[in-house]
Amino acid sequence: MAHNYEFQIMNYELNMIYLSLGTNLGDRSLNLDKAIEALNAHDQIEVAHLSSIYETEPADMDSDKLFLNQVIEMHTNLSAKDLFIITRDIEVKLGRTTKGDNADRIIDIDILLFNDEKIEDSDLIIPHPKMKERLFVMVPLLEIAPELSDPLTGEQYSDIFSSLN
């Protein structure tokens, strides 16, 4: 069953978004805190829920540095594209110099879900195309939103997660 994640708060129609945060360089815990603070500091973003922090092996890359990963639920009246620009700006301000799957990173902020929308353009694909394959995304996502289902297929993420194990 697909969900409609629009809320009416203070006369603003808000979008429900899930972001994945990851870091494997420097003070990893501080990097996550700074990213969340930067998101919360934006006047059009409200961080609503935080998953626990998980320490994970690097995936899809050669590195000996463990990651800290976290998923956050947030609400905003921003568009997906505007949010994407803000997350890229936060990454740069926190010291990220490269964007790509094969590099260690001080912070990585990925938009996993934006309401039940399917978005595809040159810079942004939502739902995140690799999220269902990644335990470091699925575990914290299901911790804070166990009822979510894939907006493309309608399949419960909890069922998808069960197939990963």
Strand locations in 84-139 (E): 108-114, 119-120, 125-126
- Say if CB 147 and CB 2 are below 8 A apart: no
Strand locations in 44-120 (E): 45-50, 54-56, 67-76, 108-114, 119-120
Q: What is the pLDDT of residue 5?
A: 44
In the numeric block, which tokens belong to residue 125?
Answer: 């694909």
Mean pLDDT value of segment 71-77: 96
**47 within some domain:** yes
Question: Residue 50 is part of a domain; what is its CATH number?
Answer: 3.30.70.560
Whether the pLDDT of residue 23 is over 70: the answer is yes
101 falls in which pLDDT band (50, 70, 90)? low
State the total domains in the chain. Answer: 1
CA distance 75 to 89: 18
**1 within some domain:** no
Could you report the per-residue pLDDT of 104-117, keeping only the tens digit for each? 899 999 999 999 99
- Which residue would you say has higher pLDDT here, 123 or 10? 123
**68 within some domain:** yes
59 falls in which pLDDT band (50, 70, 90)? confident
User: Which residues form the domain of 16?
Assistant: 6-164
Could you report the per-residue pLDDT of 125-144, keeping only the tens digit for each? 999 999 998 999 999 999 99
52 falls in which pLDDT band (50, 70, 90)? very high
Whether the pLDDT of residue 6 is over 90: the answer is no
Q: What is the pLDDT of residue 3?
A: 45
Cβ burial 96-117 (10 Å sphere, 16+ → b, else e)? beeeeeeebbbbbbbbbbbbbe
Q: Which residues contact 112 (CB under 8 A, 6 or more apart)?
A: 17, 18, 19, 20, 71, 126, 127, 128, 131, 137, 141
